[in-house]
Structures are given as C-alpha cells and as structure tokens.
Amino acid sequence: MSQIDISISPEAYTKAIELRDNNEEYQGKSLRLYLDGKGCDGFYYGVSFDDKSKDDLELQIDDLELIIDEETNYFCTGSTIKWLVHEELGEGFLVDNPEHRKFRGKFYKRKSFQAAYENRDNK
C-alpha cells in the first residue's frame, strides 16, 4: 500500500476543522483531496468533505482525517493543501503541487511516463 506524502498548512487545517464542525453535512466525513480533470497546464485539484471508500488511502492529521485515492496520491505526492483568501477570487482550499509542471500537456503519452507509472508500486 502506498504512503501519503501530503501536508496541510496550519490555516487550511484550522479552516477544515471549522467547516467540518460547523456544517452538519460535513460532520462524520473526511477531507478528500482529488483530481478534478486536466487541462493543457496540468491538473485541476479539488478538496471537499466526503465519505471514505474501501480503496481510499488515509492520513490522520491530529483531529482531521485526509483521504485520497491511489491515482491522486501518485500525482500529488509532496503537495500541500493551503487555505487561500483572495480579494477578487474569494476563499477556498488551494493545492500547491511542486511537481505540477511535470504534468502539463500530454505527459501521459510519453513512453517514459507510462513505464514509470506502471512500475510505481515496485519502488
């Protein structure tokens, strides 16, 4: 089984706990990081509260459980979930992925990527 190498900033952690505790629909759910499609400039990321499925990986961060599927874990290793407050855009979770540039364009069609992805669990 893969390990999760995802972190959450103190601000994002605090906001996630606040959202979970103050919204009845989020109570009893875990914070999920997921991929929400891909464009030419890389992946679109999503962060929401969700029920855990049997195939999810999980990471306990104090009083918060982070869940993630295997594919998202592979592409988001080393990422940090942050809380962004922007005058024009509003506020929300932001995923800072230091490897984001590697996944631009049609990276998945490169033979070197396909071989690495197929052998990802053998490392």
The CATH number assigned to the domain holding 110 equals 2.60.300.12
β-partners of residue 35 are 45
Give the mean pLDDT of the chain.
82
At 93-111, the pLDDT tens digits run 998 988 766 665 544 444 5
Q: Would the pLDDT of 116 be above 60?
A: no
Placement of tokens 């499925």 in the chain = 53
How many domains are there within the chain? Answer: 1
pTM of the model: 0.78
Identify the pLDDT of residue 65: 96
- Position 49 in a domain: yes
